[in-house]
Structure 1
Amino acid sequence: QVVDVERLVQSTADPTSDIWHALRARIAAASSQYGFVDFLKQAPAMKDELVALEKGNNTDFYTSRGVRLHSMELIEVELHSDGVASSITNAIASEAALRINEVEKLRTENELEIARIDGQHRMLMQELANQLLSDARAHEAQTQEAELRYAREASEEGQRAAHELQVAENSATLRITQENHTFALRAVEAANRVALETGRSALLDVLEANLRKESASTGMVTGLHMGKSVDEYLHALQSSLPDLDKRISLFTFMQELGARNATSLNLASGNAQLYVTPESANLYLGPSRALNHTEL
């Protein structure tokens, strides 16, 4: 705080820089007792202690310059230690490398899980194909054995065995075809759902844009109509009422009167009820202790 302007001007040509350098020297001397981390923790207490010392032991410095010290704020701290800066840089680099490694690890785990699921799927399909082939071969072997066993019997038995083999092969083929068809149907259904949702999103965007355009157009038309009405009203009263403020007040009164008439018409044409307080109706209904609620 400047308490003596004349003394301030006579004592120094740059009071701001003079006082700043003096306080900076005091802070530098006091901060030499701490490490960087301890300094950051103890900075508020050190600042208060330094201000108290300046007020008690160094008043001549400020009195000679016509100023009075009330408080001091630390707004910036610079680190001039290569070791600490290097430690912080290494810690940041280690943290970044750790995060990159975690991301790579997660990506590798996901790829392994995808490969495992794909392998299980392939194994299941191969097992199914092998089972079908094994069943077909077993049935074929049984058929051949039956044909050899009953070769000497009637040709009808041989034809029946051949028919059973054909039925088994057709059944296996049908099962594979049905599974492929089911998979294809599911893929088509998923694609249709995606297309439907995309179409819905596009439709909503178009509807939203149209609604905004319609609202903007309606507001513009209403604003132009209202502006033209106000302009014509004020222009018509210019000759009889030259004062613009009075014309505007009269227009405002007419608008309020129209709004009140519309409200009265709405109340008269329906079953609405109007509740007012004695203050708004300018009524005196006796002491407030005698009435708890007033309805008009």
Structure 2
Amino acid sequence: MAFVDTNQVRLHVVEAGPADGPLVILLHGFPEFWYGWRAQIDALAAAGYRVWAPDGRGYNLSDKPAGLSPYTIDKLVADVVGLIAAAGVEKATVVGHDWGAIVAWWLAITHPDRLERLVCLNVPHPAVMSRFLRRSPRQLLRSWYAVFFQVPRLPEWLSRLGNWWSLTRTLRRSSRPGTFTEADLATYRAAWAHPGPTGAPALRTMVNWYRAYAQRGPTLPARHRITMPTLLIWGVRDAFLVRDMAQPSIDLCDRGRLVFFENATHWVQHEEADAVNRLLIDFIGPA
């Protein structure tokens, strides 16, 4: 466990594996933190990789700057570039789930020279997501929460009620039974409640990722094909994102592979941990 200064913030990073192994950075999504990769960290380290699993800015033990501007996608991408530099290497394999996958896609588009390989779980290429939000009522309906998160303060206030009842209920209802134990949920509640700069719980800065993307969103570069080897893993029973976005995303990759898990949900790395770990190790290659 360490703290790394990057891009004017201090990020909490869980480290594992040999210091001279190939660097693999695991980027979590909402509403998780590094703990969302608990089933992958030791397996990847045992395979010889140097594993870094950071808490994203605004999450858990990482810095939580106030306002929206610190949470633009360019800042989030720059954090990862800074982590790679802090590790003393030129390139890393980056694995992202949910919001972590959004950051990973943008990193691959804007800084392809910093990636050896790209792995995304249950999030499409940004160009595909944008197209489906414009043309697919089914996907737009599933993205209702992202619209709700644009309301100032109300989502954070409602989420805290009943010992974070709404968030824990969402995790349980959107996953296979038993995926998140009561001990897991207690760990998440502690992370969500961790205070930010104004004393408000971390959930406010977590939600600011959504607000900054919607209100200060980036322009997709004209060249947005993915050039490095790419693996897209998709749990088909995702309650938030339709599977129809998966194949068009891999079609935008020069060297892409798509793997569906028919019985997994959005939380595929939890539900199919052993299979996902084997896929990652096989895809990344010898340490």
Q: Does the pair score TM above 0.5?
A: no
Rg larger in 1 or in 2?
1
Q: State TM-score, norm by structure 2.
A: 0.18
Structure (1/2) with the larger helix percentage: 1
Structure (1/2) with the larger strand percentage: 2
Q: State TM-score, norm by structure 1.
A: 0.17
